[in-house]
Amino acid sequence: MSVRMNEQIRVVFVDIDDTLLSFSGYVQDSMRRGFDLFGLKAYEPWMYDVFEEINGELWRKIERGEIDFAGLQAVRWNAIFSSLGIDYDGPTFETWFRAQLFSSAILVPGARELLEYLKPKYTLCAASNGPEAQQKNRLKVGGLIGFFDEIFVSSAIGFPKPSREYFDACFERLHELGLSDLKPEECMIIGDSETSDMAGGVNYGIRTCLYRPDLAAEKPAGVDFLVRSLDDIRSIL
């Protein structure tokens, strides 16, 4: 991370889930509480791995345009419960799960400090897949929404990250805000997903910074930077 990008970058896109707000932390807590509330099996930590595998594949299908978010909601918990050997109605649990998530705001360590650092230096945009009202409310509950000049959510745009159409819409809006000469290489996207944040950035010509606390993670081909902590981004931007 010896090369600083701050003199070249004008706009920074920041992912929300597991970059600023801990989705994984929310899921583990809600599974524990929800299983108890609905009288299901006692939650055990390994059950989160089942959720992560199934949920991850469903989101990759959304990123590829194979299903939409409503399709994910319809099948997600039925598939998870089937793998866990739980006999319960998935859509009923999904409704409760999403209602709890709407106001969940568990901050990733260093999230607020990162935004405080970036805000005076760049045009700052949130970039997220998921329901618009939910994501904006979670940022509001977490006290982060005021840091952003724009919030780009796939459900409002009509296309998911990492599609070109998603980023086309982002740039169209940024041009309307007065950045009419903005080029992709003058932007950076920060996020935890290789298939969404990094693939979208690489394919569009945007600089990329992968946030992965996992010490075993390696920097994918084409990605500009890999950081283990949000604090490390200060040495880049």
Distance CA 180, CA 186 (A): 12
Judge if the upstream peptide bond of residue 45 is cis by omega within 30 degrees of 0.
no
Contact 126, 148 (CB under 8 A): yes
| pLDDT score at 63 | 87
Residue 56's H or E segment, with its range, is helix 46-63
Q: What is the pTM of this model?
A: 0.87
The pLDDT averaged over each successive group of 10 residues in the chain (237 residues) is: 65 96 92 96 95 94 90 95 97 94 92 98 95 94 97 94 96 95 97 95 97 87 95 96
- CATH 1.10.150 in the chain, residues? 23-101
The terminus-to-terminus CA distance of the chain in angstroms comes to 10
HSE at residue 52, side-chain half, CA atoms within 13 A, is: 12
Domain over 11-21+105-235 is classified CATH 3.90.1720.10: no
- CATH 3.40.50.1000 in the chain, residues? 11-21+105-235
The second-level CATH assignment, the architecture, of 23-101 is Orthogonal Bundle (1.10)
